[in-house]
Amino acid sequence: MRKYYYTDGQNSLGPFTLDELKFKGITGETYIWTEGLTNWIQAKNIEELIPLFTGENQPYYGSPYQAPTTFPQVPQGYYGTPTPTGYPPKTYLVESILTTIFCCWPLGIPSIVYATRVEKKFYAGDIIGAQQDSDNAKKWLWINVGACIALWILYFLIFGFAFFGAIINSAQHSSL
């Protein structure tokens, strides 16, 4: 048996059978939805509901239901994306904290900031924003690691040349 939903302009009510709809006070102007319909339509446009609006089935009072300004929708997150049901993107929070401690902390701070925003955005429904923050956290993580490696190479070059210069200088002074 087919089940019907109707709306009062703010809420969708139902499901109801055809017999149950007779006692709900709907009119031909009431918006109805049932399986197989792509959108809410007026009851007078559904063939099996037309007998509800002829003669003796007509309610003795006016319909309290006005045409809705908006129809109930599938729950949506921010930016019209579907509400998330899966797992959020990788946050890189642990990696960001470790590289901030052991590498270059000024470059690690942006990575931590982006990493902390990933799950918040994901569960708010902003899946695209969560993925962008995850990508940015990863980018700043690798910038931090790259800067750390570059600084260590520079450190060894400077102190390596100084060390070898000192050895050569001491070798020249000891031979004299």
At 76 the three-state DSSP class reads strand
Q: What is the pTM of this model?
A: 0.47
C-alpha 165/C-alpha 95 separation (Å) is 38
pLDDT one-digit tens code per residue, 63-104 = 555 555 555 554 444 444 444 557 889 999 999 999 989 888
Residue 150 lies in a domain: yes
pLDDT one-digit tens code per residue, 119-145 = 888 888 788 889 999 999 999 999 999
C-alpha 79/C-alpha 33 separation (Å) is 26
Across the range 146-160, mean pLDDT stands at 91
At 43 the three-state DSSP class reads helix
Residue 100 lies in a domain: yes
171 shares a domain with 120: yes
Model pLDDT, residue 9:
73
Q: How many structural domains compose the chain? A: 2
108 shares a domain with 52: no
Percent of the chain with pLDDT over 90: 26
115 shares a domain with 166: yes
Residue 64 lies in a domain: no
104 shares a domain with 148: yes
Domain that holds residue 154: 93-175
Across the range 10-25, mean pLDDT stands at 81
103 shares a domain with 53: no
Q: What is the DSSP string of 2-36?
A: --EEEE-SS-EEEEE-HHHHTTTT--TTSEEEETT
100 shares a domain with 44: no
Q: What are the tokens at 157?
A: 């070059």
